[in-house]
Structure 1
Amino acid sequence: MRLLRRHGPLLLWTPLQRRVEAIASDYFAAPDGAGIDFSTPAGEPALTAPDSVSWQVFKNPLALFVGGVTAVLLELAEPRVRTGVWHATSFRTDPARRLRSTGLAAMVTVYGPRSKAEGMIAAINRRHATIHGVTPGGMAFRADEQQLLDWVHATASFGFLEAFHAYVRPLDAAQRDSFYGEGRASALLYGALGAPASQGQFEQTMQSMCGILEPSPVVFEFLGIMRNAPLLPGPLRMAQGLLIRAAVALLPAWVRERLGLDSHWGLRPWERMLLLRAGADADRLVLRTCPPVRACRRMGLPDDYLYRQAGSARRA
């Protein structure tokens, strides 16, 4: 495969570039067919700025996939969240559609014009308000409880940040704090008023969950679905199992132990190197039909704005 290098960003051989962009565009299309145009209205800001750490992290497809799985594993370790996710969503019956919906929501939250992001989050909040129940252990819950909203927001931030840090390029302490802080605007809209706004606050959140997180067969059912469902395009499907194990490897050691995720779920050194190479290349591949680039156009920035930044960061 020939890659065309141009000041940091990568472009594929033209026919292949078009094919990859078509696949990526289809993945981020709204499942209900309602199109979302990230390139308009011109000049309308997103919840986070183009020069933010968030705009760098969320443009990377490998970090999105791996980090999303890590986040769900942490969610499933919390009994109330697990019951709500497993019984009130389509994760078991239609995981591909569910992941596409979740991925699109993340794109709108980070790159969408503020008005569209606020409208989408309000709609999600209305759905959350209808979800309630009792866990198998007898704990009553509502999906819009602040503690649960805080946990879901915290797990998402942790998953995406750690996947980028581990498999794309390392982020320093200031960048990690910035990433958590940048998520504050969306957290407040979701009702996650106590969501962590720094690395230190996330660590405090994890400590507070030590007595709550628990093992469950649902965790392994989820991992089986993620390994076997046709979630990625044909040529990439062979790597699906590797990406799932990469997600498990990001969990804190005590969480892996508590969930019963032994060394079978670990990564070999050569697999880590392969992921680093793939993550670095994905970070420089300009996908012109996808939300990050279209959002740059909305803000009057060149298509390769984020990808030039990535190249500069690695050379620094």
Structure 2
Amino acid sequence: MNQHPAMYAGGVCALFLQSLHPGPMAAVAQHDQYQSDPWGRLQRISNHIAITTYAPEPMVERQFALVRTVHERVSGLDRRGAPYRADDPELLRWVHDAETWSFLTAHQRWSATPLSGAEADEYVRQAALGGQRLGATGLPLTVAELEQQLEDFRPQLWCTPDALEVVEFLTHRAPLPALARPGYRMVIAGGRALLPGWARQMLELPDDPRTVRRDARLGRIATRMVGWALVGSDGEHDRPMRAPQGAAG
């Protein structure tokens, strides 16, 4: 899978950012097993991205159909008492926008070969194709549209106790072997550093410039470490960046 190593921190940023919408956060808190089986969830997300980005079309469509079927069964009430459905096009759009922005920002910040403006717009357009196949509507097709949509979502966002629990679990309680913990902490730090300042404040994360610079430095180191590991295996991170085709949720 030829994702740039910065995508690991981008994935953490996406999870933190997505948690700020009460609807998708309630779906995760009420229907997901991210605490009892965090690596199983990570594997499912990784498989979705790999299949929908690189597999032959029949396999891609089967994967999208599987995710759509799962979404159809997920519904309930969020912390505000408002009903939600995982297949709601508006909620899917938020999950998609947060993921696309996070991955793109990670690549632009830490890749040795950031995308040009036109290439970044093409990345957003490609990502929208997968989001549409999951049922999202009104997706952005340019970086400017993506950033505007994130801004437009802000009045709907709320840092619920469930969102704080996700941050606490991923930051401090994820079950890890001792040897993996230092690298994992650096990836988490990188994900925090990528977040917009307003999101860090909502999630009660340190937002002073010194801490943000430290987190960014750790994230950059983690990206290089992963890059060296990939070079040692197949060097795939040197290939062009491609857009994941839709968030698995």
Structure 1: distance between partners of 2:94 and 2:186: 26
Moved over 4 A (4+): none
**Are the counterparts in 1 of residues 10 and 103 from structure 2 also a CA contact under 8 Å?**
yes
Q: Which deviations, in whole Å up to 9, do the C-alpha atoms of 1:55-96 show, x marking residues without a partner? A: 8xx523x32321111111121100011000111111122111
What residue number does 2:142 align with? 198
Pick 1 or 2: higher relative contact order, CA cutoff 8 A, min separation 6: 2
Structure 1: distance between partners of 2:197 and 2:12: 16
What residue number does 1:114 align with? 57
Structure 2: distance between partners of 1:307 and 1:138: 47
Structure 1: distance between partners of 2:142 and 2:195: 18
Structure 2: distance between partners of 1:285 and 1:70: 24
Structure 2: distance between partners of 1:309 and 1:252: 26
Shift of 1:279: 5.5
Secondary structure, in 3 states, of the residue corresponding to 1:237?
A: helix
Higher normalized helix content (fraction of residues)? 2
Structure 2: distance between partners of 1:111 and 1:88: 28
Secondary structure, in 3 states, of the residue corresponding to 2:46?
A: helix
What residue number does 2:231 align with? 285
Q: Does 1:230 align with 2:175?
A: yes
Unaligned runs of 5+ in 1: 1-54, 289-303, 311-316
Structure 2: distance between partners of 1:101 and 1:219: 21
Shift of 1:136: 1.9
**Are the counterparts in 1 of residues 186 and 219 from structure 2 also a CA contact under 8 Å?**
no
What residue number does 1:67 align with? 10
Shift of 1:252: 1.1
Q: Does 1:94 align with 2:40?
A: no
**Where do residues 1-316 of structure 1 align in structure 2 (5 Å cutoff)?**
58-60=2-4, 62-169=5-112, 170-227=114-171, 228-230=173-175, 235-263=179-207, 266-268=212-214, 270-271=217-218, 273-275=220-222, 277-278=224-225, 280-281=227-228, 285=231, 287-288=233-234, 307=238
Distance 1:122 1:271, change over 3 A: same
Q: TM-score, normalised by structure 1?
A: 0.67
Give the fraction of aligned pairs with identical amino acids, expressed as a percent: 26
Q: TM-score, normalised by structure 2?
A: 0.84
Amino acid of the structure 2 residue aligned with 1:222: V
**RMSD of aligned Cα (Å):** 2.5
Secondary structure, in 3 states, of the residue corresponding to 2:231?
A: coil
Amino acid of the structure 1 residue aligned with 2:231: L
Structure 1: distance between partners of 2:86 and 2:217: 41
Distance 1:234 1:190, change over 3 A: same
